């Protein structure tokens, strides 16, 4: 699993639209908040949020 910096670099490298980059960052923030609320690993779920649209 990539760390946050690596995931962000991947997101920027493979995402052409700035709107989709912003979407990934917003999902990261939401996933971190949910992880914090449920006592889960914030780093893991933040990274998942960043790269969740990769197919």
Q: Cα angle vertex 31, ends 49, 21, to 5°?
A: 35
Q: What are phi and psi of 17, to 5 degrees?
A: -95, 130
pLDDT confidence of residue 7: 97
pLDDT confidence of residue 14: 93
Give CA separation, 50 vs 1, 15, 42, in Å: 12, 11, 12
pLDDT tens column, 10-54: 999 999 899 999 999 999 999 999 999 999 999 999 999 999 998
pLDDT confidence of residue 54: 84
Other beta carbons less than 10 A from residue 50's beta carbon = 25
Cα–Cα distance between 55 and 46 in angstroms, integer?
Answer: 18
pLDDT confidence of residue 32: 99
Contact 30, 45 (CB under 8 A): no
Q: Is the pLDDT of residue 55 over 80?
A: no
pLDDT tens column, 13-24: 999 899 999 999
């Amino acid at each position: 699993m990539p760390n946050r910096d690596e995931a962000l670099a991947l997101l920027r490298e493979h995402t052409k639209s700035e709107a989709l980059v912003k979407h990934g960052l917003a999902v990261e923030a939401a996933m971190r908040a949910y992880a914090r609320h449920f006592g889960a690993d914030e780093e893991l779920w933040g990274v998942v949020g960043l790269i969740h649209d990769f197919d």
